[in-house]
Amino acid sequence: MKARLIDIARESGVSEATVSRVLNERPGVNEETRRAVLEAARRLGRPVALEQEDLPRTIGLLVPDVENPIFAAWIERLEAELFERGVSSLVGVRARTVEREREYLQRFLRAGATGMIIVSGHHAQQDSPVDHYREVAEAGVPLVMVNGERHDLDAAFISSDDAHAIALSLTHLEELGHREIGLAVGDEHTWPVRTKVQAFEAARGAAGVDAPPIAYTDFSYAGGYEAARELAAGGVTAIVCGSDVMAAGALEGLRSIDVRVPEDVSVIGYDDVSWAGLTTPPLTTVRQSVSLMARSAVRTVLAAGEGSRRPTRTELAIRPQLIVRGSTGAAPGRDRGGIA
C-alpha cells in the first residue's frame, strides 16, 4: 500500500502541504526539509522520482457557490485570464464550511497547484479560523483573497471598494430627493457587510441621521424579499441592497405589499449581474469590476509564484461604477419633471 501524505508528514515532522510540495517538485521548500521528506517517503515505500518534467502551472480557484451569478462570473473571468497566460485551473465550489474549504485547499495542493485565488471565502468571516490558509502559505503557495481582508493572514487581498459603492448609491438617491434611505445586507459578521454598514452609517450620520434603518438577512432572493418588506414598513423611500439577487427579491417583496418601484420606493442593487437590466423595472445597481479584479488577482498570484516563497502582503481596493436604470426615481412628493 502506497504511503499517504499524512504518513510521510508524520514521519518527517512537517505538514501534509509541505510533503505535497516536495513530491510534486514545487518551489518554496528548503533543501534540508526536502531531503527529509524524500527520505521519509522512501522509508515508507512510496516511489520517488529522481527527476520530473516541468508541469504546466496550475492555479486553484475557490468560490462559495455558482447559484449566485456573480460567483459564476468570477470563475469565468478568472479561468479566461489564466487560459490566456497558458495556465491551467482547478475549480472548487460550495465551500460553505471551514472544513470543506480546507479540504479543497489540500486537494489543490495534492494536485500540484502553484497558487490559489479564493473569492468570498471564510477569510471574509470576522471570527473564522485562518489556520488552513496558513498551511498553504507555509507550503510556499501564493494566496490571493478576494472581497475580504484579514490582518492576521499573510496574503494578497483584492476587494471591491464598498465604501465608494455606498457613497455612489447615497449621492444618487440624495440627488433624487430621498432622505429616508434603508440598507439591506446579509450576515453582519462578514467583511463586505461590515464595510458597507460602516460607510452607510458614517454617511447618513454626516447627513444628520443618527440611526439609519438597516435590515440584516442574507444575500439571497428571500433575504431581499424579507428586508424590503421590513424597511418599507419603517417608511423608507429608497433601499440600497448588498447584492443584485437581494435587490430582485426586494422588487418582489415591495410588489407583494402594493409598493411601486420607483414611484414609491427606489431600489439599488450591487454587482450588475447579467440579468440586472431585465428585471421589472430594470435594476439600478453598482457594477463590481469583476474583469479588472480578476485580471489583478491572476497577475498577483502568478507574479508571487515567480521566485518568491510567498506574496508580499498587499491590499488593493478597486472602485465600482454606478449603473443607473429604471428602479430609482425621484422621491415621493418631489417633482419628477425637474429631475435630470
> Does some domain include residue 283?
yes
> Does some domain include residue 278?
yes
> Does some domain include residue 106?
no
| Number of domains observed in the structure of the chain | 2
Angle (CA) 67 73 79, round 5°: 120
Strand segments (E) across the chain: 58-62, 88-92, 115-119, 143-146, 156-160, 181-185, 214-216, 238-241, 266-271, 284-287, 314-318, 321-323
Q: How far apart are CA 249 and CA 218, in angstroms?
A: 11
> Does some domain include residue 259?
yes
Query: CA 203, 207, 211, 214 torsion: positive or negative?
Result: negative
> Does some domain include residue 333?
yes
> Does some domain include residue 50?
no
Per-residue pLDDT of the chain (340 residues; tens, 9 = 90+): 678 888 899 999 999 888 888 888 777 777 678 778 888 888 888 876 644 334 468 999 999 998 899 999 999 999 999 998 889 999 999 888 999 999 999 999 989 898 999 999 999 988 899 999 998 988 888 999 999 998 888 889 999 999 999 999 999 999 999 999 999 999 998 999 999 999 999 999 999 999 999 999 999 999 999 999 999 999 999 999 999 999 999 999 999 999 999 999 999 999 999 999 999 999 999 999 999 999 999 999 988 755 554 446 789 999 999 999 999 999 998 654 444 3
CATH of the domain at 166: 3.40.50.2300
> Does some domain include residue 15?
yes
**Long-range CB pairs of 37-42, under 8 A, 24+ apart, other chains included:** 37/8, 37/12, 39/12, 40/8, 40/11, 40/12, 41/3, 41/8
> Does some domain include residue 214?
yes
The secondary structure of residue 63, as a DSSP letter, is -
pLDDT for position 26? 77
Shared domain check, 169 and 39: no
Q: How far apart are CA 19 and CA 6, in angstroms?
A: 8
The residue segments making up the domain with residue 30 are 5-43
Residue 324: how many other CB atoms lie within 10 Å: 12
Shared domain check, 171 and 27: no
State pTM to two decimals: 0.80
Residue 29, φ and ψ in degrees, nearest 5:
-125, 130
